[in-house]
Amino acid sequence: MYQHTLTTLKNGLRLITVPMPQVESVTVMVGVGAGARYETRRINGLSHFIEHMAFKGTKKRPSTLAISSAVDSVGGVFNAYTDKEFTSYFVKLPADKLSLALDILSDMTVNSLFKKEEIERERGVIIEEINMREDTPMTKVAIDFERLIYGDNPLGWDIGGEKEIVGKIQRADFFEYLARLYYAGNMALAIAGGIGVNQGGQLAKLIEGYFGNLRKTGQKQSEHININQIKPRIDSFYKKTEQAHFCLGVPGYNLFNPRRYALAVMTAILGGGMSSRLFTEIRERRGLAYYVGADLDFRTDVGFLVSRVGVKLTKIEEAIKVILAEMQKMASKKVDIKELNVAKEMLKGHLLLSQEDTFNVAERHLTQLILEKEIRPYKEVLRLIDRVTVDDVLQVAKDLFKPEKLNLAIVGPFKDKKRFSKILKSG
């Protein structure tokens, strides 16, 4: 697979270059160790708000149109996203337009104007985004589940924030947040795609000209989050829907836990694809749902495993019982060696296929460097997946699938939570 070069600039900004000689495009991505977990309740949603404002005008390109026109003029694409611990800005365009990508991204992340009138205009846009998420049951239930399992702390709060809080964020809050977290030592830049193998040193000099004026230090800090759960928990949001949506899951492991690979294999077996146990039982054999699957969330100090289902209103209890039964089965009996190997090959295949795109390559290198402080080679990840045994999977299942660790979030026309509490207790 691809070999990367890591260079640290004079101001502390780290540069990752990943040559992919077979492609003619390049993705340039700026990653920041910033996100919702670095907010207080008073400014919940500000990380996401800042990401939006990066597109609203800079010193060199004073409007959204000026920024987008520069990218459109070469057939490129650009965007950004905010997560709990990571914020990303990226441009993907033809490799010979690399300098333009650097110019645009440095302008957006260093020289945004944050005009008062644009803040007010975008405030309305974000509130409508929050409304959209609240009105979309599949999204709403995922937000509710994170709050349920992580609790009333920054990891449990919605990335987009609450409408009342977003409505009160002031211009000064943006600059205070940027001073704390948008500094060279807390940022990195990845360039993946059609660049020369020996171009890393030349690029470092070029990038000094674009990002050399980044502040060197900041004040990054956050509280450590623990999940101390001693009994099952339920959150039910009443909404008239044609389908019930629920998330059923348990606390998992953090990014640094070596058992994360056994957990990933177990999750693949449980709900990782159309041949998984949950898909087979809930959709194929019983016809209860259209979408069903299991996902993982890894943070620097905590994580979770969750099963997500959209089910017939009259069949929600049956679907919950099926998932509980599959969890119990996983924790009481070793998986078949053939099933284990299929899951491992699926995970390895997904990883390898994802690395055919310059965006995925840049993102993987950036998130690992910023969140895990190191870039793990592909071969090492493949080796760690291969080392997972049936005993490893059983031990992880025994550790996680316990009645007192269950969390259930529901969106649908249900007013009585007791009926679901009984199911969890019996499960």
Active-site amino acid positions: 51
Residue-wise DSSP of 74-109: TT-EEEEEE-SS-EEEEEEEEGGGHHHHHHHHHHHH
- CA torsion 259-261-262-267 (nearest 10°) is 120
Spatial CA neighbour of 45 closest among 89, 79, 82: 82
In angstroms, the CA 137 to CA 308 distance is: 12
Return the structure tokens found at 418.
């007791």
C-alpha pair distances (Å), 163 with each of 123, 133, 172: 9, 12, 19
CB–CB of 306/249 below 8 Å? yes
**Number of C-beta neighbours around residue 38 at 10 A:** 22
Spatial CA neighbour of 334 closest among 425, 422, 408, 397: 397
In angstroms, the CA 378 to CA 425 distance is: 42
In angstroms, the CA 139 to CA 371 distance is: 25
Helix or strand (DSSP H, E) at 395: helix 390-400
In angstroms, the CA 333 to CA 13 distance is: 49
Pairing of strands 87-94, 407-412: unpaired
Spatial CA neighbour of 371 closest among 303, 300, 302: 300
In angstroms, the CA 127 to CA 194 distance is: 39
